[in-house]
Amino acid sequence: MSISKAPNNEWWRGGVLYQIYPRSYQDSNGDGIGDLPGITQRLDYIAQLGADGIWLSPFFKSPMKDFGYDVSDYRDVDPMFGTLDDFKALVERAHALGLRVMIDQVLSHTSDQHPWFAESRTSKDNPKADWYVWAEANEDGGPPNNWLSIFGGSAWQWDTRRMQYYMHNFLVSQPDLNFHNPDVQQALLDDVRFWLDLGVDGYRLDTANFYFHSKSLESNPPRGRPTGEDPAVSAANPYGWQWHKFDKSQPENLAFLQRLRALLDSYPNTSMVGEIGDDDGIGRMAEYTRGGDKLHMAYCFDLLGTQHTAPYLHQLFARFLNVVGDGWPCWALSNHDVTRVATRWGGATPDPRLLQLAAALQMSVRGTPCLYQGDELGLPEADIAFEDLQDPYGITMWPEFKGRDGCRTPMVWDASAENGGFGSGRTWLPVASTHKPLAVNKQQVTEGSLLKFYQHLLHWRREQNALIKGDMHLLPAHPQVLAFVRESAEQKLLCAFNFSDEPVQWELCNEFAQAHPVSESAVSGAVIKQGVVHFEPWGGIFAAP
């Protein structure tokens, strides 16, 4: 049966998303865990910041082994976060404020406590026997191939009920669904439709390239032990020592994304952004968003590492522009899975000018920016003691990798209030002492604060047509300066940034020889004199010809 296509106003194309990690945003009932009513309470703040939509990390029923990314019921709210009525109230309030609501969909795997898996593991011939990825042992009793879990060890777990191995790309308690089974696809599409009917405006798709595996179960080719030259490959985690040719990013994924897109296209003004974790993130991001029939947008991890020099950024965006075609990216500098950008790029004592420059870059490249809660405050990575760790990834990989808890600590709203205004009682993760001086209530009344800068930047950006939907043209590479032009039918803007802690003089090209700055509040630290831009350390400029 064909599905009619609804209109889409493309609010997502260039709109600013704000990611909320529900456990850590606002606790409304004093149990130490953030919840949906708490988020609703803080939506005015997000609207005033200048965001266009929110992305909520999972709040579905879950045993919380991976804090909601292990779903046991796709159609209900976990009691720790509230109720379905609380979610409906959140959506209603968000829409009243002009905010779109996107929710996380974890489709590649479920919790081992999901009823589907409980049935699947009982036998090899039950109705859901083929709903997960099961395989026979090798003759020596070992797993069927060399596939690895991102969280450490083999991606295969022996199950004594079926006397077979099941696949898990993440925790042992997160078995992978078998997308080669059409019944699995349809069940998931039905669950996606459930939330669309409740009024959500779209989805962030967790691990969007992990849905399909190679049915032949070939072993992945070796990549080799890391030499330290590639920052994307961790020496602490053997997962990066393989080329992931067969366990993810299979060609069948495209057809499922087309089915998913067709479903969303039947609801007005919806969108979805996919998380791409791949050996070639940029290439996969382009493949999954080209053509207007798969993902609306996607993001990869190329800006979520430590590198932020002008040459690195130039080659990254050059490659992106070369392959993206009519696809659309989403650019994040932080999220709930990586060290906060203030620490990752700025070190132990990040220069406030660098944090402003990072924001200006994120808000001016072609694509949709996604801001992670607390980055608008400049929150550094929290230092969590081993005994306070909650993340199973960090507990397994300690001490070389401390996990993701340091970027997931509670939001700080009031510097003088208990737990920084997050809530009363013992919090699920400790509130970092380094965060309290950066609380919202302090920065809201301090001119020159990073929060004030973000507010100015986001509201100014809304009026710049070239930054919302314009084309992007990179200017020649430079050791310190990253520069590009954004251009729409109505506007042309030069965006130039000194990504170094040294001043530099940079000569304007002929087209911008008579350029003049267009906004001091959007970025600063640079002046134009006789066709030359004089940059201070970490300075930037937006200019019109």
Q: Could you tell me the pLDDT band of residue 521, with boundaries at 50, 70 and 90?
A: confident
Query: Cα(285)–Cα(229) distance, rounded to whole angstroms?
Result: 24
Q: Which of 83-97, 145-159, 166-180, 516-530 has the lowest mean pLDDT?
A: 516-530
Judged against a pLDDT cut of 70, whether residue 228 lies above it is answered with: no
As annotated, the residues of the chain forming the CATH 3.20.20.80 domain(s) are: 17-110+180-223+231-461
Q: What is the DSSP string of 233-293?
A: S-SS-GGGGB--SSSS--THHHHHHHHHHHHHHTSTT-EEEEE--STTHHHHHHHHHGGGS
As annotated, the residues of the chain forming the CATH 3.90.400.10 domain(s) are: 111-178
Q: Which fold has domain 17-110+180-223+231-461?
A: TIM Barrel (3.20.20)
- Bond before 399 cis per omega within 30 degrees: yes
The reported pLDDT for the residue numbered 1 is 45
Judged against a pLDDT cut of 60, whether residue 231 lies above it is answered with: no
The rounded mean pLDDT for the chain is 96
N-terminal to C-terminal alpha carbon distance within the chain: 53
Q: Which of 229-233, 310-314, 491-495 has the lowest mean pLDDT?
A: 229-233
Q: Tokens 């300690």 sit at which residue?
A: 398
Q: What is the DSSP string of 152-189?
A: SSBSEEEETTTTEEEE-SS-TTSPBB-TTSHHHHHHHH
Using CB atoms within 10 A of its CB, is residue 326 exposed (0-12), middle (13-18) or buried (19+)? exposed
The reported pLDDT for the residue numbered 514 is 87
Query: Cα(279)–Cα(233) distance, rounded to whole angstroms?
Result: 10
CATH of domain 471-544: 2.60.40.1180
Residues serving a catalytic function are: 206, 275
Instruction: Give the amino acid at 409.
Output: T
pLDDT higher at 194 or 224: 194
- pLDDT tens column, 26-76: 999 999 999 999 999 999 999 999 999 999 999 999 999 999 999 999 999
Longest Cα–Cα distance in the chain: 78
Q: Could you tell me the pLDDT band of residue 225, with boundaries at 50, 70 and 90?
A: confident
Give the CATH H-level superfamily of domain 111-178.
Oligo-1,6-glucosidase; Domain 2 (3.90.400.10)
Q: Say whether pTM exceeds 0.95.
A: yes
pLDDT higher at 3 or 385: 385
C-alpha to C-alpha distances, 157 to 121, 135, 240, 392, 432, nearest whole angstrom = 12, 10, 20, 17, 37
* Cα dihedral 382, 385, 391, 397 in deg (nearest 10): 110
Instruction: Give the amino acid at 410.
Output: P
The reported pLDDT for the residue numbered 3 is 60
What is the pLDDT averaged over residues 332-356?
A: 97
- pLDDT tens column, 273-309: 999 999 999 999 999 999 999 999 999 999 999 999 9
- pLDDT tens column, 420-474: 999 999 999 999 999 999 999 999 999 999 999 999 999 999 999 999 999 999 9
- pLDDT tens column, 258-282: 999 999 999 999 999 999 999 999 9
The reported pLDDT for the residue numbered 233 is 66
As annotated, the residues of the chain forming the CATH 2.60.40.1180 domain(s) are: 471-544
Q: Are 507 and 524 in contact (CB under 8 A)?
A: no
What is the pLDDT averaged over residues 474-480?
A: 98
Nearest of 373, 408, 360 to residue 42 by alpha carbon: 373
**Alpha helix segments (H runs only) across 462-541:** 465-469
The reported pLDDT for the residue numbered 303 is 96
What is the pLDDT averaged over residues 121-136?
A: 98
The reported pLDDT for the residue numbered 197 is 98
What does the block give as tokens for 191?
Answer: 């669950």
Helix axes 450-461, 352-362, angle to 10 degrees: 20
Judged against a pLDDT cut of 90, whether residue 181 lies above it is answered with: yes
Query: Cα(541)–Cα(166) distance, rounded to whole angstroms?
Result: 53
Query: Cα(254)–Cα(186) distance, rounded to whole angstroms?
Result: 15
- pLDDT tens column, 392-406: 999 998 998 899 999
- pLDDT tens column, 8-21: 999 999 999 999 99
